Chain A
């Protein structure tokens, strides 16, 4: 699966196809998509509406079973016929964190409880969950809003709480769906810097669907999806000695 000496990817998508319907109504959402994301990498998925970005995110997030191909998450091959729905849920709970376009915080829980709920679902005690939640909120510099309800948070604060929730279980893989779409450019930059910090410090792989051009320079690789195909051309970002990111044409690292 990997070349000798190559770093083991956290997310390894191999020849994934997904179609909906049959016959005349058949829609090919993904066609033979392959992709690798390594620890510490922050990857962007671009593409017009209907190109298959969210489908790919759903497949990687163990929500949608592919029609063919396989996926390895943190070394575990899923969708090989051995996985029950409950196993996938558990895998999702332990290894994958989600960040949504509109933060999707539970409106009836405070900021800290929105983070703690993930730990609670994973079986941690209430006290332990709360402690870890507050630590995470502090880490994301939104600890002072731990008792605030989501309705009382600003867009940036809500998205940070959402990131804290995604990180609660210390997942190795973070999937983000338009994480900065609801934010202005300044806040979008802050959020992306936070994600990069998380990717580096926690050796996590971050895969984000985005249309937000103003944050393109925050990604290590940018993959383009068109009609379900991962296009040959993607844009890799290089960081020069002065820390300035530039794009360069590259092939997908599949």
Chain B
């Protein structure tokens, strides 16, 4: 006879309500883990999308994401000529705000050379950029649709393709435009400012500046050797793809990562305390029944089993509800919530462990109950 199950069935409404409350708490914990994963994933998406091996940036910087980097536009040709480089492309990165449909869109603009590394790896809908000007590929998260027209700087761009899941480390949706357009957008001055610079004799009008050169190496060459070769140019810094990923995860999103990690830990501790209190209260409510059970000959194992099984049932149901809830609503979060099976399993295991540890308080109380309590007097 399973006493834990019978007791749960007898107080089913109260038990399910408790589980629901716990599921909300565990749902929040799971969403925090998902947000943390999403943050790292978003940061890495940007650096992984070009699928390159070497990043060439301004000397003395760790650009183009952790620090600003500006290098001459002809760097790409020099890098492409290095032995072992199979392809190289110039890229620019900038954040802009653009009005669209009565609201401000905050976008992360990537300028690339069509046909060279640096562009989107996969187009979900539509096509890639085919013309040298005024076309763009946007991520769905921007809310833009195929054929939408968007004013960027002094030009109007048409959305010709859409990507999925392309956001910057800050969570802004990415749009891709040609390098020429992005250079104009980033470096060309407004006409009055340009006229003033020309009048001062300083305005060269040259906007052939880029943020970085990305390069792929051929199968018989190593990224390290290419990076080493590129370091001969004193105005350039080079790093491998792995180095760039490390910079992004360790520098760009490190604080946010720590913040979320700490908050998740706190939530887990709060959950443990709440689970312990719930179990303690549940045991308190049953002290007379426990005393009676002891008096009629129930062993300590039976009593421990009663409490532990209820604790585990509560944890499993609470976690199940929580996971289901977050899986259902994760796409409505403003930032990516990435739920990995291993994270779910780890949290599930942590919840079970917390339930077992938390039930210790209730078990201790139950084992201390004097069977004589049932007799009164």
Interface of A toward B, CB cutoff 8 Å: 53-55, 57-58, 61, 63-64, 86, 89-90, 92-94, 98, 100-101, 104, 106-109, 113, 116-118, 120-122, 126, 129, 149, 165, 169, 177, 209
Write out the residue numbers on chain A whose beta carbons fall within 8 Å of the beta carbon of B7: 108
Q: Which residues of B contact A90 (CB under 8 A)?
A: 297
Q: Is the CB of A177 within 8 A of B297?
A: no
Q: Considering the chains assembled together, what is the distance between the CA atoms of A100 and B370 in angstroms?
A: 15
> Which chain A positions have C-beta within 8 A of B372?
54, 58, 63-64
Q: Does B293 contact A (CB under 8 A)?
A: yes
Nearest chain-A residue to B11 (Cβ)? A108
Contact across chains for B370 and A53 when beta carbons are under 8 A apart? no
B78 at the interface (CB under 8 A from A): no
Q: How far is the CB of A29 from chain B (nearest CB, A)?
A: 11
- Extra A-B contacts (14), CB below 8 Å, given A89-B297, A101-B376, A104-B292: A61-B375, A92-B297, A93-B297, A100-B292, A104-B374, A106-B3, A106-B292, A108-B289, A116-B1, A118-B297, A121-B296, A121-B297, A121-B298, A121-B299
Q: How far is the CB of B13 from chain A (nearest CB, A)?
A: 13
Kindly state the separation between the CA atoms of A109 and B7 in the bound complex, as whole angstroms. 8
Given the interface pairs A54-B376, A63-B371, A107-B289, the reply to whether A113 lies near B299 with Cβ below 8 Å is no
Name the B residues within 8 Å of A98 (CB-CB): 295-296, 374-375
Q: Which of B246-266 contact A (CB under 8 A)?
A: none
> Is B195 part of the binding interface, using a Cβ–Cβ cutoff of 8 Å?
no
The answer to whether B6 has its CB under 8 Å from any CB of chain A is yes
How far is the CB of B324 from the nearest CB of chain A, in Å? 28
**Taking beta carbons and an 8 Å cutoff, which residues of B are in contact with A?**
1, 3, 6-7, 9-11, 288-289, 292-299, 302, 370-372, 374-377
Across the interface, which residues of A come within 8 angstroms of B375, CB to CB?
Answer: 54, 57-58, 61, 63, 98, 100, 177
Query: In the complex, are the beta carbons of A100 and B10 less than 8 A apart?
Result: no
Q: A113 to B3, alpha carbons, bound, how many Å?
A: 10
Assembly CA distance A101 to B377 (angstroms)? 10
Q: Please report the C-alpha to C-alpha distance between residue A58 and residue B126 in the assembled complex, in whole angstroms.
A: 84
6 residue pairs, one from A and one from B, having the closest CB atoms: A93-B297, A54-B377, A108-B10, A108-B7, A120-B1, A104-B292
Determine whether the beta carbon of B377 is less than 8 Å from that of A177.
yes
Q: Which residues of B contact A101 (CB under 8 A)?
A: 376
Give the distance in Å from the alpha carbon of A232 to the alpha carbon of B294 in the complex: 34
Q: Complex: how many Å from CA A64 to CA B375?
A: 12
Alpha-carbon distance A54/B377, docked complex (angstroms): 6
Task: State which of A58, A61, A109 has its C-beta within 8 Å of the C-beta of B6.
Answer: A109
Which of B288, B294, B296, B377 meets A118, CB within 8 Å?
Answer: B296
12 A-B pairs whose Cβ atoms sit less than 8 Å apart in the complex: A54-B372, A61-B375, A63-B295, A63-B370, A63-B375, A101-B376, A108-B9, A108-B10, A109-B3, A113-B6, A120-B1, A169-B297
Q: Kindly state the separation between the CA atoms of A117 and B298 in the bound complex, as whole angstroms.
A: 9
Which residues of A lie under 8 Å from residue B298 when comparing CB positions?
121
Q: Least Cβ distance of A96 to chain B in Å?
A: 8
A165 contact from B6, B289, B296, B376, Cβ within 8 A: B296
What's the least CB distance linking B323 to chain A, in Å?
29
Residue numbers in B under 8 Å from A100 (CB-CB)? 292, 374-376
B356, chain A: closest CB distance, angstroms: 23
Contact A86 B374 (CB under 8 A): no
**Interchain CB contact under 8 A, A117 and B296:** yes
The docked-state distance in angstroms from the alpha carbon of A86 to that of B292 is 16
A116 to B6: give the CA distance in the assembly, Å. Answer: 13
Docked Cα-Cα span, A120 to B296, in Å, equals 11
Q: A63-B370, A116-B1, A120-B1 are contacts. A107–B10 as well, Cβ < 8 Å?
A: yes
Chain A nearest CB, measured from B318 CB (Å): 21
> Considering residues B1, B9, B289, which has the most beta carbons from chain A within 10 angstroms of its beta carbon?
B1
Report the nearest B residue to A85, measured CB to CB: B300
Give the CA-CA distance A86 to B10 in the complex, in Å.
30
Q: Which B residues lie within 8 Å of A116 (CB)?
A: 1
User: Which of chain B's residues have a CB closer than 8 A to the CB of A117?
Assistant: 1, 3, 293, 296
Q: When chains A and B are docked, how far (Å) is the Cα of A54 from the Cα of B375? A: 7
Decide if B295 touches A92 in the complex (CB within 8 Å): yes
Q: How far is the CA of A100 from the CA of B296 in the complex (A)?
A: 11
Q: How far is the CA of A109 from the CA of B5 in the complex (A)?
A: 10
Give CA–CA (A208, B187) in the complex, Å.
99
Q: How far is the CA of A98 from the CA of B297 in the complex (A)?
A: 10
A122 to B299, CA, bound (A): 10
Distance of B289 from chain A, by nearest CB (Å): 5
A151: nearest chain-B partner, CB-CB: B10
Identify the interface centre among A94, A116, A117, A126: most chain B CB within 10 Å of its CB: A117
Shortest Cβ distance from residue A48 to the other chain B in the assembled complex, whole angstroms: 12
Q: Can you name the residue of chain B whose Cβ is closest to the Cβ of A62?
A: B371
* Complex contacts, B10 vs chain A, CB 8 Å: 107-108, 149
Contacts of A55 in B (CB 8 A): 377
Within the complex, the shortest CB–CB distance from B373 to chain A, in Å, comes to: 10
Most chain B CB neighbours (cut-off 10 Å) among A86, A104, A122, A165: A104
Identify the interface centre among B6, B302, B377: most chain A CB within 10 Å of its CB: B377
